[in-house]
C-alpha cells in the first residue's frame, strides 16, 4: 500500500476527528438562519474572553482587520511611529502603511525569533506611539522587557497574536498571562491553518479597556453608535455565525491540540539533537509555547528544502524576505534599525510540518530525510 503523503498541516484529519460536533454546529446555524452576529458569535466572544482571561473580545473578519481596527481605535496621527519586527508576516506592518503610520523595523533575537528588547530603545523617537510584539511561531515575545520599555516611554502595546493563541507568558512576580491578553490590545487570526482555525476567514480583537472595546466594536460596524447613526468612519468587518459556531466547537479542543504541537516540537528536537547542520528552536520551560510553526535554522537551507520536496516532504520558509526589503514597504515612509539578525535568519529558517495531528512515525520519516540530505 502506498504511504499517504505527509501534509504541512492536516486540516482534513483534524476535521474528521471532530466531524460530528462540527456538522451539528453548522446545521444548527443553517437551521436558525442567523448568519451574521447572533448567539453563536456572542457565545464565542464570551468563551474566548474567558479562555484568555480578558474583559472584551470582539469578533472581526480576519486577523489583518483585527490589527487595522485596533490601530484605528487608538486614533494616532499621520506619521506617528510604531515599532514592529521586520521578521513577520506582511499584515503586521501593512496596516500601519495603510493608516499612514510609520513602521519602525526593529531586529529580532535570532535565538527566539522575537523582537530583541535590547534593540527597541534605540529606535524610539518623540513620535513613537506603540510597540507590536508578534508572538512568532507561537512563542511568547519578551513581554516583561517590552512592558518596562513601554512604561518608560508611555507607549501602547498591541500584540499580534495570530500565531500564538493559547501561549502563556510567566512573569517574574509569578503571574501568568495568556499572550494577546497582556498589552492594551491583542489581535487574533482564525485563518484555517492557525492553531485555532475556522473554515474560512475570521479574527478577533481583545482588550481589558472598556473604551477601546467600545471603539473597536463601533469601527468594525461602520462607526455606528446606534443603528444608522454613524459617529466616525469605520469599516465592515464581521465574524460570521457559521465560523463562530465552528470556533465554539474547536476552542474546546485547543489546549489538547496545542499540547500535541508542543510534544511534537520536543520530539523533533530530540530527533535532530545530534545533527550539527541544524539548529533547533528553543523549548522555553519558563513559558508556554504553542508551536504554530516548528522552525529550524539549517545550513544550505534552499538545497535542503529542494531535496525534501523531491522526497515528498513539505516545508515552508517563513519568511524569505524581511518586510524592510519588500517593495511595498520601500514605497511607504518607514524607519529601519540595524536588521542584520533578521536578514541572516531569512536565509536559514525552515519550517517543518507540525499540527494537531502529526504522528511520531511521520516526524521520524521527515528527520530521516533531513539526515540523508546532510550525509550526501
Ligand X SMILES: *Cc1c(COP(=O)(O)O)cnc(C)c1O
Is there binding between residue 293 and ligand X (CB under 6 A)?
no
Is there binding between residue 89 and ligand X (CB under 6 A)?
yes
Q: What angle do CA 87, 90, 95 make, to 5 degrees?
A: 125
Is there binding between residue 115 and ligand X (CB under 6 A)?
no
Q: DSSP label at 134?
A: B
Q: Closest CB to ligand X among 10 and 92?
A: 92
Q: Closest CB to ligand X among 275 and 317?
A: 317
Is there binding between residue 102 and ligand X (CB under 6 A)?
no
The CA distance from 162 to 172, in Å, is: 25
Is there binding between residue 163 and ligand X (CB under 6 A)?
yes
Binding to ligand X (CB under 6 A) within 180-199 occurs at 189, 191
The CA distance from 334 to 292, in Å, is: 29
Is there binding between residue 206 and ligand X (CB under 6 A)?
no
Binding range to ligand X, per CB under 6 A, among 72-80, 88-96, 140-148, 237-245: 88-96
Binding range to ligand X, per CB under 6 A, among 6-14, 84-92, 239-247, 299-307: 84-92
Contact with ligand X (CB under 6 A) among 10, 86, 88, 207: 88
Cell numbers for 111, please give them: 535565538
Question: What angle separates helix 63-74 from helix 210-220, to the nearest 10 degrees?
Answer: 120
Is there binding between residue 63 and ligand X (CB under 6 A)?
yes
How many residues touch ligand X under the rule CB under 6 A: the total is 15
Is there binding between residue 69 and ligand X (CB under 6 A)?
no
Q: DSSP label at 123?
A: G
Q: Closest CB to ligand X among 191 and 307?
A: 191
DSSP H helical segments within 38-193, as ranges?
A: 39-52, 63-74, 91-98, 117-120, 143-153
Contacts of 295 (CB under 8 A, 6+ apart): 113, 137, 281, 318, 349, 350, 351, 352
Shortest distance in whole angstroms from residue 202 CB to ligand X: 7
Shortest distance in whole angstroms from residue 160 CB to ligand X: 5
Binding to ligand X (CB under 6 A) within 118-137 occurs at 134
The CA distance from 193 to 10, in Å, is: 9
The CA distance from 62 to 65, in Å, is: 5
Is there binding between residue 349 and ligand X (CB under 6 A)?
no
Cell numbers for 206, please give them: 481583545
Shortest distance in whole angstroms from residue 189 CB to ligand X: 3
Closest CA to 80 of 142, 154, 21: 154
Q: Phi, psi at residue 40, to the nearest 5°?
A: -65, -40
Residue with cell 508542543: 262
The CA distance from 313 to 295, in Å, is: 15
Is there binding between residue 162 and ligand X (CB under 6 A)?
yes
The CA distance from 240 to 33, in Å, is: 12
Shortest distance in whole angstroms from residue 318 CB to ligand X: 8
Shortest distance in whole angstroms from residue 36 CB to ligand X: 18
Is the sign of the CA dihedral 58, 63, 68, 70 positive or negative?
Answer: positive
Binding range to ligand X, per CB under 6 A, among 69-77, 85-93, 265-273, 339-347: 85-93
Shortest distance in whole angstroms from residue 66 CB to ligand X: 7
The CA distance from 81 to 365, in Å, is: 46
Q: Closest CB to ligand X among 203 and 307?
A: 203
Contact with ligand X (CB under 6 A) among 133, 183, 203, 234: 203
Shortest distance in whole angstroms from residue 1 CB to ligand X: 36
Q: Phi, psi at residue 149, to the nearest 5°?
A: -65, -45
Binding to ligand X (CB under 6 A) within 242-281 occurs at none
Shortest distance in whole angstroms from residue 92 CB to ligand X: 5
Contact with ligand X (CB under 6 A) among 29, 70, 73, 91: 91
Cell numbers for 308, please give them: 525534501
Residue showing the smallest CB distance to ligand X in the complex:
63
User: In this structure, what is the dihedral angle of CA atoms 192, 284, 112, 54, given to the nearest 10 degrees?
Assistant: 50
Q: What is the binding site for ligand X (CB under 6 A)?
A: 62-64, 88-89, 91-92, 134, 160, 162-163, 189, 191, 201, 203
Amino acid at each position: 500500500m502506498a504511504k499517504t503523503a505527509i501534509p504541512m498541516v492536516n486540516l482534513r484529519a483534524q476535521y474528521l476527528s471532530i466531524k460530528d460536533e462540527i456538522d451539528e454546529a453548522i446545521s444548527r446555524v443553517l437551521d436558525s438562519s442567523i448568519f451574521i452576529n447572533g448567539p453563536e458569535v456572542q457565545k464565542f466572544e464570551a468563551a474566548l474572553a474567558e479562555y484568555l482571561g480578558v474583559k472584551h473580545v470582539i469578533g472581526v473578519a480576519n486577523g489583518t482587520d483585527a490589527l487595522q481596527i485596533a490601530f484605528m481605535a487608538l486614533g494616532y496621527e499621520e506619521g506617528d511611529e510604531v515599532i514592529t519586527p521586520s521578521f513577520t508576516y506582511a499584515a503586521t506592518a501593512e496596516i500601519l502603511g495603510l493608516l499612514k503610520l510609520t513602521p519602525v523595523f526593529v531586529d529580532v533575537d535570532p535565538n527566539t525569533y522575537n523582537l530583541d528588547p535590547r534593540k527597541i530603545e534605540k529606535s524610539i523617537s518623540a513620535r513613537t506611539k506603540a510597540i507590536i510584539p508578534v508572538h512568532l511561531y507561537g512563542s511568547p515575545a519578551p513581554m516583561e522587557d517590552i512592558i518596562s520599555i513601554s512604561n518608560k516611554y508611555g507607549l501602547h502595546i498591541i500584540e499580534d497574536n495570530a500565531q500564538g493563541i493559547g501561549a502563556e507568558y510567566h512573569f517574574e512576580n509569578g503571574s501568568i498571562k495568556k499572550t494577546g491578553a497582556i498589552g492594551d490590545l491583542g489581535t487574533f487570526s482564525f485563518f484555517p491553518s492557525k492553531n485555532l482555525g475556522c473554515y474560512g476567514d475570521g479574527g478577533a480583537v481583545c482588550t481589558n479597556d472598556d473604551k477601546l472595546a467600545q471603539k473597536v466594536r463601533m469601527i468594525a460596524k461602520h462607526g455606528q453608535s446606534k443603528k444608522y447613526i454613524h459617529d466616525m468612519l469605520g469599516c465592515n468587518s464581521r465574524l460570521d455565525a457559521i465560523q463562530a459556531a465552528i470556533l465554539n466547537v474547536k476552542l474546546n479542543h485547543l489546549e489538547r491540540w496545542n499540547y500535541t504541537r508542543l510534544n511534537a516540537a520536543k520530539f523533533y528536537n530530540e530527533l535532530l539533537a545530534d545533527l550539527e547542520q541544524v539548529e533547533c528552536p528553543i523549548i522555553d520551560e519558563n513559558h508556554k509555547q504553542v508551536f504554530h510553526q516548528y522552525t529550524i535554522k539549517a545550513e544550505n537551507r534552499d538545497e535542503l528544502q529542494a531535496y525534501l520536496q523531491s522526497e515528498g516532504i513539505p516545508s515552508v520558509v517563513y519568511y524569505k524576505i524581511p518586510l524592510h526589503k519588500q517593495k511595498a514597504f520601500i514605497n511607504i515612509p518607514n524607519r529601519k534599525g540595524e536588521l542584520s539578525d533578521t536578514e541572516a535568519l531569512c536565509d536559514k529558517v525552515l519550517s517543518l510540518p507540525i499540527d494537531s495531528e502529526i504522528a511520531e512515525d511521520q516526524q521520524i520519516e521527515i528527520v530521516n530525510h533531513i539526515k540523508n540530505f546532510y550525509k550526501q
